[in-house]
Amino acid sequence: MVKIPRLILRLHRSTLGWSLPPAARRSRLATCPPAERARFCPAPENVRGMARTTRGLTETALAAGTDRLQGRDARENTVSAGRSVAALVRTTLGPKGMDKMLLRDGEIVVTNDGASILDRIEVEHPAAKLVVEVADAQGSGPGDGTTTAVVLAGELLGAAEGLFDDGVHPNRVARGYRFAIRRAVDHLDDLAVDAGDDRELLETVARTAITGRWDARSRDLIASLAVDASRAVARGSAVAREDLIRKPVPGGELAASELVSGLVVDLDSSSTTPVTPDPRLPARIEEPTLALVDDQLTVPEPDAVSTASVSGHDALQSFVDREKRHVRKTVDRFDSLGVDVVFCQKSVDDRLRLRLAEQGIRAVERTRQDELNNLARATGGAPVRQVDELDAGATGRAGLIEHRSVGGTDHLVVSECVDSDPHSVVLRGGPPHVVDELERVFEDCLDVIEPVFGGGGVVAGGGATEVALARELRAYAADHSGREQLAIRAVADALEAIPRTLASTAGADPIDVISALRARHHEGEHTAGFDARAGGPADLAAAGILEPAAVKRRALTAAQEAACLLVGIDDVIAAGDLGEDETGHNHAGHDHGHAGGHDHDHGTGGYPWAIGH
């Protein structure tokens, strides 16, 4: 039976009087001239032709040269692009993960951090961009677990291809994925163990997050420093990371890294310089008042005048007196407000620094903008552009300022601040690229400590949790009689990609490892996983390899969301620029009246966009 388009049916009904009773309609049709009857009652072959024409309306409406992929081709294109991103970072997973060398604009970066790699590469395909967004979402949430989330997303996409080949509809695949991840997240809560403020457990979690070529001693130092820093800025069950200042300083040894109570203003690696010429000024000032100048301190000069000519001694003296009055006015301003230290974002004039020293006021020039902002937030001061704008409300206060060595370098330490209790971590570690990697690893430690400190619980790492979840999902799949059962089993297989990859990067046989882990979990050892450093299966809870449950939870949901979005795409159109057309109408971001529908606008700009089912 040929299905006549709805538009043609409406036309026939209105022309032939199909709204009339059947007898009247037959009478009208009998009296209709043959030419009209042929026009409004076409032969079956003509109806089929009209149906084909209707199906081709979409292609006809598109601009010439528009690229389009439909059906299976569209799904294969989007799935392959998403899987390619996962393949890029897969081998970096785990403590034995391989490094990637990134070359860009003469810069060389060697890292095995998945988030750093994806952040530095350029991705053009819109489906690949959506998988990269999984990494962004993981990084903006729990922070750690970026590579795990991307690898899981790639595995789910690969499993979807096999399900499509078996005749499972994309909607059924997405539905099964949602069932599976919801069940996995629920079971994850059953596996988690509360760590609270247990220092030993927190250090264990931090050590697990440290990947790369760090030896055991270095891992212990970094983990201990991260735990100390997190506890120092803890506010109840939350970690106030905005009160923790990270100061990477190239040179020296890792053991010289130090946690300092207060703000540290770097005087060595930056251009920040104490310019007080008087050695009698103290290196320690208690309860100081601070002034923050977001400009230079200098004697103003006449505008648009490059040289000045004087005709006599009186004229010259007037210039000198003018400069002296300005210097005296500036120093008096600071002195009247009881200022002890002036932090200036730019340079300080020689004449001003001398007079400030004579008045007992310490001057610090070329303070970095981020340090000036930190000082303002911690001390309650407000940076001013002109000294005339400075008043008592704009000055900052602290309990102590010291000029001392921190981590083997020269710093000013501002502590016991009135508006917050900041702490600073000075990270030392040899060449600049080593310090950069140290800072990244330290951030990873903070990322995993924070959710555990808040009561989020910990689970066994090394793929142990993924194997336990896979076992749970295979049992759960039996409760579903539809084709969603196949998708749930596919999620279970995808989860086991984590221990498989860990084994592969460590040089072990993935098949043997998965078989051994399944057998141990069948015996009830739900914390059995792959210990990459030992090179084989082990009880990872006993081995001290723990991860935050929050990281696992977010990785599961982020991977599922990306996979479900991509498997639902059946049409990819290279739409070109979605900005203003020739009439000046901007199409970007408009749903054109489809209220209540699904817009699926993911802001891909001029890249191909997708029409969902």
DSSP string, 554-608: HHHHHHHHHHHHHHTEEEEE-----SB-TT--B-TT--TT-TTS-------TTS-
Query: Which residue type sits at 442?
Result: F
d(CA 25, CA 41): 13
> 3-state DSSP call for residue 185?
helix
Residue 600: partners with Cβ closer than 8 Å, 6 or more residues away: 610, 612
Closest CA to 401 of 424, 418, 417, 419: 417
pLDDT of 63: 61
332 has catalytic annotation: no
Q: Crossing angle for the helix pair 432-453 and 549-567, nearest 10 degrees?
A: 100
The reported pLDDT for the residue numbered 307 is 62
**Half-sphere exposure (Cβ direction) of 91: Cα atoms closer than 13 Å:** 9
Tell me, yes or no, if 314 is annotated catalytic.
no
- What lies within 8 Å, CB to CB, of 370 at 6+ separation is none
Distances 21 to 10, 13, 16, 18, 180 between C-alpha atoms, Å: 17, 12, 12, 8, 55
**Identified catalytic residue from 78, 92, 113, 349:** 113
The answer to whether residue 444 is catalytic is yes
Asked if residue 299 lies in contact with residue 349, where contact means CB atoms within 8 angstroms, the answer is yes
CB 292 within 8 A of CB 382: yes
pLDDT at residue number 36: 54
**Of the listed 144, 243, 294, 444, which one is catalytic?**
444
pLDDT of 302 reads 58
Number of residues in the chain: 613
* Candidate list 146, 148, 367, 395, residue with the active-site label: 146
Q: Of the candidates 280, 419, 272, which has an alpha carbon nearest to the alpha carbon of residue 346? A: 272
- Cross-strand bridge partners of residue 341: 290, 362
pLDDT value at residue 537 = 93
Q: Are 114 and 147 in contact (CB under 8 A)?
A: yes
Kindly name the residue from 147, 379, 395, 557 that is annotated as catalytic: 147
Domains of the chain: 6-61 (no CATH), 69-192+481-502+551-573 (1.10.560.10), 199-262+427-456 (3.30.260.10), 264-420 (3.50.7.10)
Sign of CA dihedral 223, 228, 232, 235: positive
Q: Burial level of 85, CB count in 10 A (0-12/13-18/19+)?
A: buried
Tell me if residue 38 falls in helix, strand or coil: helix
Mean pLDDT, consecutive 10-residue stretches, the chain (613 aa), reads 39 43 55 55 46 45 65 82 87 85 79 79 82 73 74 92 90 94 94 82 88 83 92 84 86 86 73 51 83 85 58 66 84 91 88 86 86 88 89 90 78 82 86 85 88 83 94 92 90 95 92 95 93 90 90 90 88 61 46 42 37 32
Query: Distance between CA 212 and CA 109 in Å, rounded?
Result: 14
> What pLDDT sits at residue 179?
95
Query: What's the confidence (pLDDT) of residue 434?
Result: 84
| Residue at token pair 């191909």 | 608
Q: Could you confirm whether 370 is annotated as catalytic? A: no
d(CA 558, CA 553): 9
